[in-house]
Each structure stands twice: as structure tokens, then as C-alpha cells.
Amino acid sequence: MPQDPVSAARRGERRLGEGHPALAGTHLASYLGNLEARPDDSPRVDRLLLRLDRVVDLRPPKDFVVLGCGPRPQLIKTLIARGHRVVGVEPVPSFVDAANEYLAGATEVRPGAAEALPVESSSQDIILCESVLEHVDSPRAALGEMYRALRPGGIAYLVTTNRLQVNVRGRNGEFNVPFFNWFPRLVRESYVFRHLHHEPDLANYSLRPAVHRFTFAQLCELGRDSGFGQFYSLVDLLSPRDPSIARGSQRRWILGPIQRSPWLRALALTQVGHTIVMLKRPSAP
């Protein structure tokens, strides 16, 4: 007698397409738990604005998009307090609701994805995309959307994973697997499968785990494909007055040679190439 092809499902066994049941139920709680351990965001935002001001004029008010703002967007609240206009974009529905409740009407957090930003073309001055690009389905489509949304002369600020970084803790990105960023791509994909279906704590219960790993050169290539014309690294944004440099004489001494030498700059970018600013040409149509 032929076996019923859906008998396993009827017995209550989980289909692979459903993923692990703990992902949706635990993601928000896990994310908020991580946020509780973070310090106040204001000093970090001030450092960020100081660095970005070396690329474009950031005197308020400017129009910002904070992409992947999360359920408790301190960054948005701080930018508003600095006099800027801000829109948050978040793909996880429960995060959208939590973020709008947290901001209490100060601005709007809209549901959307990096590949389809819910803002008009050429309407934004700055797009902040921190710890997002490694999660998206298509990095190239996401950068194309950022280019579309920015005004000529606008910038996209991205912080993402670094394929080459040597992390002293043996980790890179959100995967709790030592030296994950150094694994061959096929092995990384196998860990992604394991996370989504069997061990959701491998990537902190993320519904969209960090599947992409980049080098600084790859980020520049993706940016050029999308139309961006100029690119700046964290090394380029720093100055001797930056708080992270001013407090150490050795850092002040080495910054100048790194900024002047292409070879030293390239060497530094193997470790800090996860941060990039992409400029939309001022003369762009």
C-alpha cells in the first residue's frame, strides 16, 4: 500500500520551510537583551557626525534614513535631538511596532527593506546602514536603492562584516562560531542552514542571519556598480583631534603615515575595512 506523502506533516513533524520555531519567538527578546548591555549612544553619534563632517557639510537640519534601526533606535532619538530630520526603516514587523512605541511620535519608523526603501528618490542627505548589508538578500540591489534615495552630494555610511579581519575573540559578525569569517563560503552556508533549522542560537536567533562577508575593495566595487563615485574608509575619516586618536600618542604618530601611504592604508583596511562612506557625485542627475 503506497505511503501517504504528507503523513509526516500530519503527524506534526516540522517542515524544513518553516524554519526553527524559536527564531520568531525569541528574536525580539534576544535583541533587546543585547541592547541592555550597550552604553548610551550619544557619544558615539557625536563621534560619527564629527567624522562624516569631514566628507560633507552636516550642519542641521539634514535628512537622514536609519536603515535597520531595530526595536529601540537610540540613534534616531539622538539625531533628532541634534536637530536633524530622520526616518527609520526596519524589515521586521515586531521591531517596527516596538521602535514606534519607543520614539513615541518623535518621527516615523516605516516597514521596508534595504532593497526597497520607502522614501522618495533624491530626498535624503545621509543614509546610515550599520550592521545591515551583511543581512540583505542582494547587497547590489540595496546599494542601488541607497543611491536612488540620496540627493546628489549625499552619502551612504555603511558598517558591515570584514572578510579579512582578525578578531581577537575569534568571531566576526553575529555568528557565535570562532573564525566564521575565514571559513570557505560553502562551509558558511552550511552553518547558515544549521542556524535557521536546528540551532538558532548560532546567530542569536536572527531571522535574517549575516550571510555576506566583504572586503573594502569589494564594497568599493559594489558601490561603483550602483553609481557611487567616491569612497572613504574609517582611516580617511579620522583626524588627530578625533577622541579615539587624541588619547594615544602612538595612534597619533601612525595615523599620518597610514593616510599618506597607499600600501599602509591597504594594510590597515584589512582590519578596519568594515566601515565605508560612499558619495553620490554632486553633479549626478
- 56-99 tens-digit pLDDT: 999 999 999 999 998 899 999 999 999 999 999 999 888 899 99
Section 143-152 average pLDDT:
98
User: Does the pLDDT of residue 18 top 70, yes or no?
Assistant: yes
Q: What is the mean pLDDT of the chain?
A: 87
Please indicate whether residue 88 or residue 242 has the higher confidence score (pLDDT): 88
Tell whether omega for the bond before 61 is within 30 degrees of 0, i.e. cis. yes
Question: What pLDDT shows up at residue 13?
Answer: 72
User: Does the pLDDT of residue 52 top 70, yes or no?
Assistant: yes
* Contact assessment for residue 195 and residue 178, using Cβ atoms and an 8 Å cutoff: no
DSSP bridge pairs for 230: 279
For cell 534615495, the residue is 149
User: Does the pLDDT of residue 28 top 90, yes or no?
Assistant: no
Cα distance between the two ends of the chain = 68
Please indicate whether residue 221 or residue 177 has the higher confidence score (pLDDT): 221
For the entire predicted model, the pTM comes to 0.88
Question: What pLDDT shows up at residue 25?
Answer: 61
The region of weakest confidence among 67-76, 138-147, 235-244 is: 235-244
User: Does the pLDDT of residue 169 top 70, yes or no?
Assistant: no
Section 89-113 average pLDDT:
92
DSSP string, 196-263: HHT-GGGGTT-SS-----B-HHHHHHHHHHHT--EEEEHHHH--TTSHHHHT-HHHHHHHHHHHH-HH
Question: What pLDDT shows up at residue 172?
Answer: 57
Residue 186 pLDDT class (50, 70, 90 cuts): very high
Section 7-33 average pLDDT:
65
The region of weakest confidence among 27-31, 133-137, 139-143 is: 27-31
CA angle 189, 199, 158 (to 5 degrees): 55
The Cα–Cα gap between 40 and 100 comes to 19
DSSP state of 91: S
**What are the E-state strand segments in the chain?**
63-67, 85-90, 108-111, 124-130, 150-159, 230-233, 275-279
Residue 26 pLDDT class (50, 70, 90 cuts): low
* Contact assessment for residue 209 and residue 137, using Cβ atoms and an 8 Å cutoff: no
Section 46-50 average pLDDT:
92
Residue 166 pLDDT class (50, 70, 90 cuts): confident
Section 1-29 average pLDDT:
63
The Cα–Cα gap between 137 and 132 comes to 11
User: Does the pLDDT of residue 190 top 60, yes or no?
Assistant: yes
User: Does the pLDDT of residue 150 top 90, yes or no?
Assistant: yes
User: Does the pLDDT of residue 244 top 90, yes or no?
Assistant: no
Question: What pLDDT shows up at residue 44?
Answer: 86
Tell me the CA distances in angstroms from 267 to 71, 262, 272, one per residue in order.
Answer: 36, 9, 9
